[in-house]
Amino acid sequence: MISSVSRSLARSVRNGKRGIPSIVPGSRRGFVQPTRTERASVVDTPPSADLENKFTPRADMLGFKLEVPAKVQGTERPIYLDMQATTPLDPRVLDAMLPYYTDQYGNPHSRTHAYGWEAEAAVDEARKQVADLIGAESKDIVFTSGATESNNMIIKGVARFNKEKKNHIITTQTEHKCVLDSCRKLSEEGFEITYLPVQSNGVVDLNVLEAAIRPTTSLVSIMAVNNETGVIQPLKEIGTIVKKHRGVYFHTDAAQAVGKIPLDVNAMGIDLVSISGHKVYGPKGVGAAYVRRRPRVRLDPIISGGGQERGLRSGTLPSTLVVGLGEACRLARLEMKADHAHVSALSKRLIQGINSRIEHIVRNGDSNGYPGCVNLSFAYVEGESLLMALKDVALSSGSACTSASLEPSYVLRALGAAEDMAHSSLRFGIGRFTTEAEIDFVIEKIVAVVQRLRDMSPLWEMVQEGIDISTIDWGQTQH
């Protein structure tokens, strides 16, 4: 009976039948492919929306009909510009996942019946889809719970496997916190860690990198795209340097790069890659690690169990999530060029719109970085006050993993940003479903809020009067 109900529900969802209860009260968003006529009539903003309510992605891009404004329990939802924290699940990904929630729910490691066989086949297909996106062999892909686990597994695994002969690891000061904390954990175990500085544009100095490699170095771990600034590291050049030294492996945390910029592990000389599902319009709770087999990279697993995933990551694979990751990677491979053009145009629109109306703004990081990540510092404005005033826009002041801290961004400080400028930074994350209307709305909001906060700032008043506040001795007291 249960199986019959599940199959009936799955067919209803696939056939676009209505009447299924919504998870969010008050929301009626049907995942139904619009007709060609409906697609042709779609514009950036639904006719019912006004300037204060442009909070929904374009229906023709999402592939489903928008029936009501984006509200949850009567509350307007802010425009989402935090794509480095997470991306929305592409409805096409959800469509691929649904049968594995309802019908094809077998354990992919069960080899004695059809339920297991079909789940295993789906996992194998997803493995190929992930591999194709980075130019790898499907057998080199290991599924994990996300990029944090992949980073931990790779960094700790390679270091511990080689600890008898090599005890040195190289990384940079601007890595994601999970990489830095993995390295700190290893330093407590007796490993030597070199944290390379970066240049003012956020890019590592290749000469400094090469000089840091020792005979005892086992791993160089440098991220592909920075999660706070969008800085793209020269992966191919780094791979060339690392390959000069036998027994040294090159790992890149590509959570912010996969599906956004072209990656080819062979052409770039990369041995190990960390991938996140929810950063590429896939589901949360799943990721992958690329672990090269030829020549083979050896590492100690950090999870023990049934020996799944080549013995590197034991545990039953969540086949539904894996299918979602595979589909997200397939779509990213097909649409990367179009996505990049779309994001680039909106990024340019955002920067020009703000720069033309507000002065004393600094863009943090290399201007040639990934355009979907724009990090701006607004002088004479306190960052937390700026965020609090922007209730209509979902933004971040740094990494989503650390932005709850009141400390200035360690990434921006590593770039040489002054503490006050690091405190006044905002990260704008633009993605596949962001619209021009949303960008225009954000520009208006940013301009209004920054001007209002500056009008309340005594520092801004002094600057307007022509006073060079950098010459003031703030430690001097009056009696």
The per-residue pLDDT for range 414-462, each reduced to its tens digit, is 999 988 899 899 999 999 999 999 999 999 999 999 999 998 877 777 7
Residue range 91-332 forms a domain whose CATH class is alpha beta
Q: What are the angstrom distances between the C-alpha of 152 and each of 160, 270, 320? A: 12, 17, 23
Token readout for 1 is 């009976």
Q: Is the pLDDT of residue 362 over 60?
A: yes
Q: Is the pLDDT of residue 404 over 60?
A: no
pLDDT band at 405 (very low <50, low <70, confident <90, very high): low
Q: Give residue 324's identity as a one-letter amino acid code.
A: G
Q: What residue spans define the domains of the chain? A: 91-332, 336-469
Q: State how beta strands 249-253 and 272-276 pair.
A: parallel
The C-alpha atoms of residue 456 and residue 187 are separated, in whole angstroms, by 47
When pLDDT is averaged across residues 362-375 and rounded to a whole number, the result is 96
- Provide the terminal-to-terminal Cα distance of the chain, rounded to the nearest Å: 85
Q: Is 329 a catalytic residue?
A: no
Residue with tokens 């020009």: 352
* 377: nearest Cα among 368, 369, 386, 388: 386
pLDDT band at 463 (very low <50, low <70, confident <90, very high): confident
Interhelix angle 91-102/319-355, rounded to 10 degrees, is 160
* pLDDT value, residue 296: 95
* pLDDT value, residue 10: 41
E strand or H helix at 426, and its extent?
strand 425-429
When pLDDT is averaged across residues 363-370 and rounded to a whole number, the result is 95
* pLDDT value, residue 18: 33
- The CATH architecture annotation of domain 336-469 reads Alpha-Beta Complex (3.90)
Q: State how beta strands 192-196 and 168-172 pair.
A: parallel
pLDDT, one tens digit per residue, over 36-70 is 444 334 434 344 444 444 344 444 444 443 333 35
* pLDDT value, residue 5: 39
The C-alpha atoms of residue 204 and residue 208 are separated, in whole angstroms, by 8
Q: Is the overall model pTM greater than 0.75, yes or no?
A: yes
E strand or H helix at 240, and its extent?
helix 235-243
Lowest mean pLDDT among 113-122, 129-138, 195-204, 457-466: 457-466
pLDDT, one tens digit per residue, over 73-82 is 556 789 999 9
Judged by phi (left if over 0) then psi (alpha if -120 to 50, else beta), residue 229 lies in alpha
The CA R_g of the chain, rounded to the nearest whole Å, is 24
pLDDT, one tens digit per residue, over 235-274 is 999 999 999 999 999 999 999 999 999 999 999 999 999 9
The C-alpha atoms of residue 299 and residue 291 are separated, in whole angstroms, by 9
The C-alpha atoms of residue 410 and residue 174 are separated, in whole angstroms, by 7
Catalytic residue among 178, 183, 373, 401: 401
Q: What are the angstrom distances between the C-alpha of 42 and each of 90, 346, 348? A: 18, 19, 24
* pLDDT value, residue 247: 96
When pLDDT is averaged across residues 144-171 and rounded to a whole number, the result is 98
* pLDDT value, residue 476: 61
Q: Is the pLDDT of residue 220 over 60?
A: yes
Q: Is the pLDDT of residue 327 over 90?
A: yes
Residue with tokens 């920054």: 450
* pLDDT value, residue 397: 80
Token readout for 294 is 């030829």
> Counting every residue, how long is the chain?
479
CA 121 to chain centre: 28
* pLDDT value, residue 475: 65
Q: Name the range with the highest mean pLDDT among 4-18, 196-210, 293-307.
A: 196-210
pLDDT band at 127 (very low <50, low <70, confident <90, very high): very high
